[in-house]
Structure 1
């Protein structure tokens, strides 16, 4: 259904440090800058793109929005959470935990305030 997710940033180098750390913790690769100056992360068929807003106004986080990323294991979720917190992210909600459906999840806000989650597949 989705081809990609695009979010705004007010500081692409700060975003690069955060997302390079979190994507490599999930087994992905560091992002690449395209010819238009957007950071692009491809991982397991999904694409996350980060750009400064084209209207020249400051980037803001979506109120009520969450971007979810799949993780292969609980260890990947924990590594993602640790890498994000160490690279300008903010731990939010509960500590990394197993949910009633068996999924192991963690939540962060990136340096621009976007809400993210990494999670394993539900087992129940």
Structure 2
């Protein structure tokens, strides 16, 4: 359904230092690094599906209240690794790894990146 997702940053270098190790915990790879943007994809994907960039209007980036990007995690250990890496590289905790009440196997973790963008990683497989 979604072609891609973008989040804004005010410091692309800081975003790179955060997203490279954090998204690696889920198996995603950086495919694009330019002056104004960074793009990530699943190894088997032909295009980047997640972008971090300076806002097009050249105004300060801000996080959206109620906005969140959720990444598919291959297993529950990847969710835990995502959360730990995010905290290690400057993110903030928004919900420790664990089962959520959405269905029996909804295992997720929630964080904010250094720019305040809310992210989560979710595994929907049984342990």
TM-score (norm 1): 0.89
1:29-44 matches, within 5 Å, as: 29-34=29-34, 37-43=36-42
The CA distance in 1 between the partners of 2:84 and 2:11, in whole Å, is 21
Aligned to 1:98: 99
Partner deviation per Cα, 1:72-108 (whole Å, 9 max, x = no partner): 1010000011111100100113x21112311110000
Moved more, 6-15 or 43-52: 43-52
Aligned to 1:11: 11
The CA distance in 2 between the partners of 1:75 and 1:99, in whole Å, is 16
The CA distance in 1 between the partners of 2:125 and 2:85, in whole Å, is 23
- Segments of 5+ residues of structure 1 without an aligned counterpart are none
- 2:79 aligned with 1:77: yes
Task: State the aligned residue count.
Answer: 121
- Segments of 5+ residues of structure 2 without an aligned counterpart are none
SS at match of 1:57: coil
Moved more, 79-88 or 42-51: 42-51
1:111 to 102, 108, 114: 114
